[in-house]
Amino acid sequence: ILNHARKVGGADAGTIFLREENKLKFSYTQNSTLEKRLPPGEKLIYTSFEIPVDENSLAGYVALTGKSLNIPNTEKMDPTLPFRFNRKFDEAAGYWTHSLLTIPLQTTTGEVIGVLQLINCRNQEDECLYFSEETEKIMSVFAGMAAIALERARMTRLMILRTIRMAEMRDPKETGPHVNRVAGFALVLYEAWAHREGLGKKEADEQRDHLRIAAMLHDVGKVSIPDAVLKKPGKLNAQEYAVMQQHTISGARLFIDKASDFDKAAMDVALNHHERWDGQGYPGHVDLVTGLPLKGLTGPDGRPLTKSGADIPLFGRIAAIADVFDALSSRRCYKEPWGEDEVLTEMEKCKGAQFDPQLLDLFFAKLPAIRGIQKRYREEDADS
């Protein structure tokens, strides 16, 4: 949204603020001039901050009134206006804001869900201009459409977070810290993989966002497992284990309609996180609706053909490493937590058998980041 708005408006920089109650959160920002000064591959770092929805700032005023503001020159603002341009952000960034177009992101019901700010209008010759009345009109229409898209994304995200909370009610071991750790480990692995593969930033960022939520939902299918199996304090017998294994299929079934790229990611993770590199994992090539072998993919024993190696989708191979590392490191109703040395020895032993050997190497190379995530989401913090 920001990229498109900047292109159409000819803006050197821009910001999207999203509203949370009576605050605006500085949520997305782009700045061509500052980005050009960075070494290749580096990202702009902005500390995120909030400003109140009130008359004291431009963005706050626009959110409060629902009216747009077009300021041709921040140095010559009408002194009777209630707000001042706050030069502190310019000073921190080493950047000078001249012209500024600030537009409310307003849904069809009139609710302001955020603010779009375009900074420094530039023409082809890089001359400093101000935003025209026509640009202002075009941007108002565009902002209306953007607001609807943002609102929809927010609702989708909320529903997904509620689904995660629902799984937590069913299985109190499936705690916030556990799903956050598995998601965190998975992201570290994916980023290391994407870097090694030389993946473009745009694709990597998009996939990364999907993987984060998908990894949080890896065990969501456990909601369908009866308590007697799910919460059994001791070892599962063969029959109980077969019931437990169904959590991969029932989890994947939730995303069967594949309505978005995210659904595809969530299905890949739920279905494949217990597949093994050597083909000894489960559930193999199954039909999600019936849980039976996929047509033409039945083995001689009548069971589904297994998946191995690169047949297993990448997100499944990543989630397997993340999930087992956390399972071994944590207390479970059937086991005590292991120390890190023991966990790493066990995982190394399973290289090329349970785990994709190259991904496991990346995992070991990233241990400092992995430990950071463990520290950030400790179990004791679960209730707070």
- Mark 193-222 with x for binding to ligand SIN (rule: CB under 6 A) and - for no binding: ----------------xx--x-----x---
Question: Residue 305 interacts with ligand C2E (CB under 6 A)?
Answer: no
The catalytic position among 173, 222, 295, 366 is 222
Cα 148 to Cα 188: distance, rounded to the nearest angstrom: 32
CA distances from 91 to 21, 128, 142 (A): 28, 19, 30
What are the structure tokens assigned to 188, written together? 């570290």
Provide the minimum distance between the beta carbon of 332 and ligand C2E in the complex, in angstroms, as a whole number: 5
Q: Which helix (H) or strand (E) holds 104?
A: strand 100-106
Cα 263 to Cα 214: distance, rounded to the nearest angstrom: 8
Provide the minimum distance between the beta carbon of 174 and ligand C2E in the complex, in angstroms, as a whole number: 9
Closer to ligand SIN at the Cβ: 18 or 294? 18
Q: Contact region for ligand C2E (CB under 6 A) — 142-150, 195-203, 252-260, 319-327? A: 319-327
Residues 6+ apart with CB under 8 A from 226: 243
Residues 6+ apart with CB under 8 A from 100: 58, 69, 70, 71, 74, 85, 117, 118, 119, 120, 131
Q: Please identify which residue in the block is written with the tokens 């900074």.
A: 119
User: Is residue 335 annotated as part of the catalytic site, yes or no?
Assistant: no
Provide the minimum distance between the beta carbon of 193 and ligand SIN in the complex, in angstroms, as a whole number: 18
Residue 157 interface partner, choices ligand C2E, Fe ion, ligand SIN, none, CB cut-off 5-8 Å depending on type: ligand SIN
| Strand-strand pairing, 23-31 and 50-52 | antiparallel
Out of 44, 333, 367, 382, which residue is the one contacting ligand SIN (CB under 6 A)?
Answer: 333
Residue 213 interface partner, choices ligand SIN, ligand C2E, Fe ion, none, CB cut-off 5-8 Å depending on type: ligand SIN
Closer to Fe ion at the Cβ: 44 or 161? 161
Which 352-371 residues touch ligand C2E, going by CB under 6 A? 354
- Mark 258-277 with x for binding to ligand C2E (rule: CB under 6 A) and - for no binding: ----------------x---
Residue 373 CA from chain centroid, whole number? 15
Cα 325 to Cα 323: distance, rounded to the nearest angstrom: 6
Enumerate the active-site residues. 222
Residues near ligand SIN, by CB under 6 A:
57-59, 85-86, 89, 117, 153, 156-157, 160, 171, 173-174, 209-210, 213, 219, 260, 262, 327, 332-333
